[in-house]
Every structure is written in C-alpha cells, then in structure tokens.
C-alpha cells in the first residue's frame, strides 16, 4: 500500500467538495416544494422498506444495505425515498448521511403497526403522542428530511371515516412539536384512492386552521394499468381536477399498478409532464424491493440485488423526464385558503372539532384520585367492565365522540387510566362499598392521594425537545431547538472518516 500525496489530495479534495455540497433542506411554499436555491423540487421517488429482520423492521438502520441500494436509487435518478417503518431504538446516522451525500431526501411515516390509530376502533392517547414526539424529534435533525407522514390510509372507506378526526389531531400535534422546536418540516397525510370518500377526505385534511391542517397530501394511486393507458382513461385527469385549488402540495405517495403484467411505467411522462406539474409535485413508485406481493423493482437475496424488467423500464422513463416548475422568487401563491370542512353526515363522521392534545400530566394527576383500580393492566374483561359501568352512569370524561366533536377531558389517557377512572367513579357512586370495587375479582380498592381532580383538568404537558430517546451520537440531547448545524457537522465528520478509510485502504 503505497502512500501517495496525490491520493491524499484527492481524498481531501473530495472532502471539501462534499462539504461545499452538503444537502440543503427543501421547504414548502404554497402548494410547492423548493430547493434552497429556489428551484422547484419534484419528488422522484420509490417507497423503500426492504425487510431484513421482521422483528426489527428498519431499513435505515442497515448502513450496508442502504449504501448498496443507493447505487440503484442513482440509476433511477431518484431524489427521495419514503420509508414506512423504523425503530426509535436504532441509530440511523450512517444511512441518513449516505443518502444525504447522494442528494436523496427522506419522507418518513411516523406510525408503526404498534403505534398507530386503529381505523376499526380509533383512539389517540398519550402513548401514541409520546411515541410520535420521540420519532419526529429523532429524525428532524437530519438535513435531508423532507417531511413526515402522520397517517397512511387510516380511513380507507366509508365505514371508518371517524378515524380521520384522530389522525388529524395527531398530525396537528406533531406539527406543534416541530414548531415548538423551531423545525420547519411538513407533516402530511397519505391517502388511499376510494371514490366513496376521496372528496371528503381531501377536504378534511386541508380544512380549518393552518395549525390543524395536513401540510401535504399524498395519494396512493394504482389507476394507470398497462402501457396503453392514457391520461384520461387512467382517471389522472379527474384526480388532477380535484386538486387544482388545493391549498397544500400534492403528490403520489405510492404509484405503479401491476395488474397488466410487466410495468412499462408510461405514467412517468404524465406525472412529470407540464399538465400535472403545475398542480402536483411528482411521486414515489411502490416499491423498491420485492416483499412477496409482486411490487418489487428489485429482488434482494442476502446482500445481492437483482433488478427486474420493471426496474429497467422505470429507469429509462425516469431518464427522460425534466419537469420545469417555477422558481420560488417568481411564485406568489395567491392564497392558501383552507378547504371547507365536510359536513358531518352518515357518509362523513368526523367533525372539524378535533380531539385534544393528550396530556400525560392530566392523566397522572387524575390517577392519584382513584379509589378503585384493575389488578392487572392487561385484564381482558376491560371492555365488558366499561360497557357495564358506562351503561349505568355518565362516562363523558373518558369518552370521545368524533361525530359530534365532543371529547372528554381524560379521553386521551391510556386504556388503563380510562377503566380505572370508570371503576373509581362507579365505586364512589356506591359510597366506595367493597362490593362496588370487585368486578369478579378484576378490580381492587386503592388509596387515593388526592380527593379532587379539579386541578387535573387543565394540566398540559410541556413539549419535549431534542432527541433524548435517540441512540444517535451526533445529536445534542439537551438543546431546546433542533439545530441543523449539528448534523451538518456530523455529516462532515462522517465523510472525513470515510475519506480516511479510503486513504488507509490505498
């Protein structure tokens, strides 16, 4: 291994080059995304969720896999990936820095199967709020974050429209956390494409106060099937028409119909063509790797990647696009008027009045007033107990009614707090008799440390800052603002390490 002065220069030269080219944040203005230099940003993306470890799904924690795949992202001319699930217990620096060095941004879903709003039985509570807060704090430090998806296809047909009230409240609160920490990253929604609900769903996420609205609207769309399809028979024309006066950016958060066999991706020319780029901001193909549902552009086997015919077709279509857009300085959105909230009806059961921000302090406080509580947190008779008690007395404080927009003061506490509130209220109504706190042995009397919950009702939490839950070494955990110069420095440091590695290997 001969030491060479010119190679050292090369290594240092590339360090300087990368430092000068450090990725800049993309921002939203009106209905469009912009690079720092004022050029409009169109998403050229894929959805990225290769599953290496089913018990710990997190492609951004796999530095080697991520670097392997970036080579393919470059072939596809990508500037963004959407990742559905990562774990807050992992470190993501290596992958995020490698993506940044390749000019690729991240759109990240906040929810996971464990921490999400269940469309069939929607609840938004302290547990989900705290999880979301940790997630956005952990990722907002990366300069190549593009935004957060605060819900994916939660309301997906007319039977579960009320779930959107909880999703919108969650989005509002994640926006609040970012704003409090002075991070300007958008939090939006990704919708399915269901003709029964599209109109109301689109309006709902874009209506009301600016602080309550989704910052962007993604559509998971599978209408363009086969290479003979056209702009009008795919229905893209109608989708476009729905959004011409929409107040926030719109893009395809998933696209790529597979029902007509090998995908030719002729829709790419439509998505990045003038007709659509006036209104929309590009899209992401579902999905990078084959995961058993035939949507993969590549097949991953161990550490090797095999591209498919779909991949080659997408690559040649992506090579042809050149969306023009507008420059930020010449773009003065006439207004960002909110949409009108849909009327609550049988077909749309989510009021414009959203659930409150969950408050751990209020829930902790009311817990101190309980006189009767479950013996075990995971008692399976909770539903039955609540049904019994709330059939006999008013459970307003723990109830939530998205149809009428009424939410009890403890309705965002976790399930244990809610059932203990009911048990205690019931026991109290029976003068705390022993029989009133039994429920076939599920409940037992407990000692309250306070006998009034009056002061609990107005308790709100302070928003956590920084990313104390992060295992990352490049973050400052105590600062109250998430400062972008910290990761920029970290990125520089990692490039330096990479350069030294290169130089050592020569």
Q: Which residues inside 103-122 make contact with ligand NAG, applying CB under 6 A?
A: 122
Q: Please state the closest distance from residue 364 (CB atom) to ligand NAG, in A.
A: 4
The one segment of 34-42, 308-316, 334-342, 456-464 that binds ligand NAG by CB under 6 A = 34-42
The one segment of 51-59, 308-316, 402-410, 492-500 that binds ligand NAG by CB under 6 A = 402-410
Q: Residue 396 corresponds to which tokens in the numbers above?
A: 């307003």
Q: Is 402 in the site for ligand NAG (CB under 6 A)?
A: yes
Residue in 126, 168, 176, 127 with CA at minimum distance from that of residue 150: 168
DSSP state of 175: H
The one segment of 63-71, 179-187, 276-284, 411-419 that binds ligand NAG by CB under 6 A = 411-419
Q: Is 426 in the site for ligand NAG (CB under 6 A)?
A: no
Among the options 24, 85, 94, 153, which is catalytic?
A: 153
Active site (annotated) includes residue 94:
no
Q: Is 432 in the site for ligand NAG (CB under 6 A)?
A: no
Residue in 381, 355, 459, 363 with CA at minimum distance from that of residue 418: 363
Q: How far apart are the first and last CA of the chain?
A: 6
Q: Is 450 in the site for ligand NAG (CB under 6 A)?
A: no
Can you tell me which of 340, 404, 460, 479 binds ligand NAG, judged by CB under 6 A?
A: 404
Q: Is 343 in the site for ligand NAG (CB under 6 A)?
A: no
Q: Is 10 in a helix, a strand, or coil?
A: helix
> What is the per-residue DSSP string for 188-253?
EEEE---TTTHHHHHHHHTBS-GGGS-S-EEEEE----STT--TTTTTHHHHHHHTTT-SS-EEEE
Interface pattern 171-210 for ligand NAG (x via CB under 6 A): ----------------------------------------
CA distances from 112 to 25, 108, 469 (A): 25, 11, 17
Nearer CB in complex with ligand NAG: 416/471? 416
Nearer CB in complex with ligand NAG: 403/496? 403
Distance CA 256, CA 261 (A): 11
Active site (annotated) includes residue 153:
yes
Distance CA 169, CA 340 (A): 17
Can you tell me which of 353, 367, 369, 411 binds ligand NAG, judged by CB under 6 A?
A: 367
The one segment of 192-200, 289-297, 397-405, 444-452 that binds ligand NAG by CB under 6 A = 397-405
DSSP state of 289: B
Among the options 85, 254, 287, 317, which is catalytic?
A: 254
The one segment of 129-137, 268-276, 400-408, 481-489 that binds ligand NAG by CB under 6 A = 400-408
Distance CA 167, CA 287 (A): 24
> What is the per-residue DSSP string for 117-145?
--TTS----HHHHHHHHHHHHHHTT-TTE
Distance CA 225, CA 345 (A): 34
Q: Is 231 in the site for ligand NAG (CB under 6 A)?
A: no
Contact 236, 223 (CB under 8 A): yes
Q: Please state the closest distance from residue 38 (CB atom) to ligand NAG, in A.
A: 7
Contact 35, 26 (CB under 8 A): yes
Q: Is 377 in the site for ligand NAG (CB under 6 A)?
A: yes
Q: Please state the closest distance from residue 331 (CB atom) to ligand NAG, in A.
A: 14
Residue keyed to tokens 């590009």: 282
Q: Is 456 in the site for ligand NAG (CB under 6 A)?
A: no
Q: Is 401 in the site for ligand NAG (CB under 6 A)?
A: yes
Cis peptide before 287 (omega within 30 of 0): yes
Q: Please state the closest distance from residue 18 (CB atom) to ligand NAG, in A.
A: 13
Distance CA 475, CA 469 (A): 11
Q: Residue 101 corresponds to which tokens in the numbers above?
A: 């060095």
Q: Is 496 in the site for ligand NAG (CB under 6 A)?
A: no
β pairing state of 372-374 and 443-445 = antiparallel
Can you tell me which of 440, 449, 478, 485 binds ligand NAG, judged by CB under 6 A?
A: 440
Q: Which residues pair with 187 in a beta bridge?
A: 148
Contact 351, 412 (CB under 8 A): no
Q: Please state the closest distance from residue 365 (CB atom) to ligand NAG, in A.
A: 9
The one segment of 59-67, 203-211, 255-263, 399-407 that binds ligand NAG by CB under 6 A = 399-407
Interface pattern 277-306 for ligand NAG (x via CB under 6 A): ------------------------------
Q: Residue 394 corresponds to which tokens in the numbers above?
A: 């008013």
Rg over alpha carbons for the chain, rounded to the nearest Å, is 25
Nearer CB in complex with ligand NAG: 278/364? 364
- Show which residues are catalytic: 153, 254
Interface with ligand NAG by CB under 6 A: which residues?
35, 37, 39, 122, 127, 159, 162, 349, 360, 363-364, 367, 377, 381, 384-385, 388, 400-404, 414, 416-417, 439-440
């Amino acid at each position: 291994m001969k030491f060479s002065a010119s190679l050292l220069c090369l290594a240092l030269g590339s360090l300087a080059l990368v430092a000068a080219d450090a990725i800049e944040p993309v921002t939203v203005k009106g209905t469009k995304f912009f690079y720092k230099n004022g050029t409009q940003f169109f998403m050229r993306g894929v959805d990225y969720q290769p599953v290496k470890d089913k018990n710990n799904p997190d492609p951004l924690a796999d530095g080697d896999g991520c670097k392997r795949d970036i080579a393919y992202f470059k072939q596809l001319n990508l500037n963004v990936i959407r990742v559905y699930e990562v774990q807050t217990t992992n470190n993501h620096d290596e992958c995020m820095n490698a993506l940044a060095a390749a000019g690729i941004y991240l759109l990240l879903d906040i929810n996971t199967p464990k921490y999400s709003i269940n469309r069939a039985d929607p609840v938004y509570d302290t547990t989900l709020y705290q999880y979301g807060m940790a997630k956005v704090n952990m990722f907002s430090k990366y300069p190549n974050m593009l935004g957060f998806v605060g819900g994916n296809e939660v309301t997906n047909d007319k039977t579960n429209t009320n779930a959107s009230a909880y999703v919108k409240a969650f989005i509002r609160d994640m926006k609040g956390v970012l704003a409090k920490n002075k991070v300007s990253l958008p939090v939006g929604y990704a919708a399915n494409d269901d003709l029964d609900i599209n109109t109301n769903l689109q309006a709902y996420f874009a209506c009301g106060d600016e602080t309550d609205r989704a910052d962007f609207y993604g559509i998971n769309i599978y209408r363009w099937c086969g290479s003979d399809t056209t702009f009008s028979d795919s229905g893209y024309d109608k989708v476009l028409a729905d959004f011409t006066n929409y107040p926030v950016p719109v893009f395809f958060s998933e696209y790529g119909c597979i029902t007509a066999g090998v995908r030719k991706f002729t829709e790419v020319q439509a998505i990045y063509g003038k007709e659509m780029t006036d209104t929309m901001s590009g899209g992401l193909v579902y999905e990078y790797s084959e995961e058993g549902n035939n949507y993969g552009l590549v097949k991953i086997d161990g550490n090797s990647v095999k591209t498919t015919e779909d991949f080659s077709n997408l690559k040649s279509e992506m090579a042809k696009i050149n969306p023009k857009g507008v420059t930020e300085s010449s773009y003065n959105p006439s207004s960002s008027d909110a949409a009108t909230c849909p009327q609550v009806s049988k077909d749309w059961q989510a009021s414009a009045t959203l659930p409150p921000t969950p408050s751990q302090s209020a829930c902790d406080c009311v817990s101190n007033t309980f006189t009767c509580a479950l013996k075990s947190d995971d008692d399976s008779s909770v539903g039955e107990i609540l049904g019994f008690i709330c059939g006999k007395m008013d459970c307003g404080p723990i109830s939530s009614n998205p149809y009428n927009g009424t939410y009890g003061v403890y309705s965002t506490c976790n399930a244990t707090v809610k059932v203990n509130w009911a048990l205690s209220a019931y026991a109290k109504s029976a003068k705390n008799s022993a029989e009133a706190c039994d429920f076939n042995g599920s409940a037992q009397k407990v000692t309250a440390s306070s006998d009034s919950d009056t002061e609990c009702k107005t308790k709100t939490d302070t928003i956590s800052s920084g990313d104390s839950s992060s295992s990352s070494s490049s973050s400052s955990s105590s600062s109250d603002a998430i400062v972008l110069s910290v990761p920029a420095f970290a990125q520089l440091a990692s490039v330096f390490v990479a350069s030294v590695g290169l130089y050592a290997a020569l």
